[in-house]
Every structure is written in structure tokens, then in C-alpha cells.
Amino acid sequence: MTRLPSKQDRAHRYREAEQFLAALDPDWQALVTHVGPCIHQPRPERDPYEALIRSVVYQQLHTRAAERILQRLIDIYPHGHCPTPEQVLATPYETLRACGLSGAKANSILGLAQARLDGIIPDQATALQMPDEELIKQLTTLRGIGRWTVEMMMMYTLEHEDILPADDFGVREGYRHLKRLDKAPSARALRDIGQAWAPYRSVASWYLWRMPKHTPVAAPAPNKVHRSQRLQAKTPRPQGPGKPIRFAITQSSLGALMVAESERGICAIALGDDPNILLEQLQDRFKTAELIGADSLFNQRVAQVLAMVEEPTQGLDLPLDIQGTAFQQRVWEFLRQIPAGQTLSYTELAKRLNMPNGARAVARACASNILAIAIPCHRVLRQSGDLAGYRWGLERKKTLLERERAQ
């Protein structure tokens, strides 16, 4: 029977993998030298069933929010750990939802429990004996379980040493920067490229996640970082040639979150389903700027933006670089005065701006906002009270309003 490697075996294999990758070419050698020894930390004590339950809970959620929901789920049961399939199936649907799970996640977890009883989710010993592609094919038939989720389980729970999660944005972006490409390869292309990294593709992925994006640039002065939000511009202005725009893309409970910062402050906050599309939109918005990756200080500001997304009532205490016409800025400034949990109609907003016939112009200004939540255009509705268009999707607008009203 295939066994999981001991810690000593694992450390030895990591050293072999480092030497193998460093010998591939000078780029890989530089990356391994820069990052240092691999300290990939799998969790083999977890069963595949438990790993998949945890994956579903954590999907599209900030870590802290997911941990709270997972703890509420565990607290339902007297033993204080992941519930058995029988216990999950005996739990009322409303009780699962009360933990904070969405309807889709609650149904996915019930499906996982039944799949374990039906033998679709194997135990660890069986999973270790299965060919990788066979296990992926079998588990991706389950609701809420995609290839990436299975590959992460294989890397972290089963300790497979030759897994390449080619769909992962961070892995593909890491390779793009490693080879100084204009565009990241597709998942299919990366799988072909990654054949050369076998049998150490898991360690190769670990290193690509840590690939430096660019040489760090000077961070804003501390007094700028902690100032309250303020308008930085009076008219639209294109970013000058070569001017730096620092950016990062992470995951939030509302999907992919892109945050960008100019030398004047946060200049774009966007939400979406596809990180690649968010990056393309940023490139289109600031065509002449030099896009650079995040440094440690910028990552701290990204964390503040992410916290605002998860709890919009807390606001954002960072400088904003707001670029728009004088009219747009007038509308956006008024939007920032609408208290969390409250809404206005486009008509009401136009009247308060002394433009009784300006509802359409106000709506266009709201639609032009590129600073999601920081400029809360989600708090403006139709006169009927119905949700109107939202740059980042009506479902996100609905979720934001529900969160604000509940807090």
C-alpha cells in the first residue's frame, strides 16, 4: 500500500526537488535561490472527505470569515471536529444555513456526505492508490468541486509530489514573471510546459506562488497611508508614461478582488469572477502606466480593502486617487455621505444635487465609478426600490446591501 512520507522523507524529497528545478535553467536557479528551501506544509492527517468539506466552506470567503463559519458548523456536534457523513445528513438544512453557509454551500456539503457514503469520495488509503487523473475525474462530478479544489486536496492532504494546478492564477502569473512574458500561458499550455518539471511539479508550483513580481518601489510616506479618504483630482487625467500603478488580485467572499494604487492613493477597486479579466480591465484603464506587483506595505493596504469588502460598514481609512469630471466627482462625493445600510434613489440623489431632471446623468456617474464600495454606488436604487445596474453585478450589490443592513 502507498504510504505518506515521513517528515524526514519529505525534507529529503524537497532537497531533491530544489536541486532538480534549479538545474532546469538560470531562471529557475535564480528563483530557488531567492526563495530559499521549500517549506511546503501539507496536512496529511485530514481525510479527503474532511478536506473537501473545508474547501467548500472556504470557497470565495476571507479566511477569518470562513473560519468562523467552519467553527459554527463543528460546534453543532458534541465531539468538536468535522462531522461524519451520517451526522451531516441528519442535520436539518436550516441548521446548516444558520452556521452562515449559503444555500449552494449547504447543498454541496450534503452532497459530499452522501458521496462519501456512496464511495465516490474515497478514504485516504484508497485515494493514495488511485491514478491522479482518475481521482480528479471522479471527484469533479460532485457539486461545488472543481479541478483546482481536487488538486489542492491532492497536494495538501494526500501529499502528492507531482501536481501542477495549472488553472491557478498565482501559478500562471508566477510563470509569466519567471519568464518575463507579456501574458500568462493558458492552463492547457502550462500543463504542457510543466511536463518538464515532473516528478516535482508540486514543489515547482510552491515556488511559482512565491515568484517576485517586480523589484519593490518606494512605498507612500506613512502620513499618507493613514490619512482619511480624500479627493485627489478635479478633472480626469491619464496616467503619465511609465508612471507606476501597483496592483494585487486576491479572493474575497464576493469573488476576485483587484486593488490598484497610484502614487496619490488607491485608484481602482474592482470585483469579478475572473482575475484575468480584472487585470485586462486595469491595463485598459491605465494604458500608459507601468503595472507593478505588490510589496509588503501595499499588501497591508490590500488587506484593509478586503476587510472593507467583508464588512462595508467599517469604511476605508486610506487615501483615494479619484479621477473623474467635476460632475462625476460631485456625485461620488455625495455617495460617500450616504450612511451604510441606507439607500437613495437616482431621482432623490439628483434632487439633492439641485438637478431635479438629472436622474439619468446621476446614474451614468454612478456607473462610471471604478472604486467599488469605497465610493458606495451600491447604495443607489431605482425610484421603485428595485436594484438597478451595478458595474460589478446585481448579485454583489444585493449582498452588500444585505450585509450593511444586518450590521
Among residues 27, 75, 168, 274, which one is catalytic?
Answer: 168
> How many CB atoms are located within 10 Å of the residue 236 CB?
12
The whole-angstrom separation of Cα 407 and Cα 400 is 11
Cβ atoms of 267 and 323 within 8 Å: the answer is yes
φ/ψ of 121, rounded to 5, equals -95, 110
118 is catalytic: no
Closest CA to 21 of 213, 174, 203: 203
- For residues 200 and 289, is the Cβ–Cβ distance under 8 A? no
> Which are the catalytic amino acids?
168
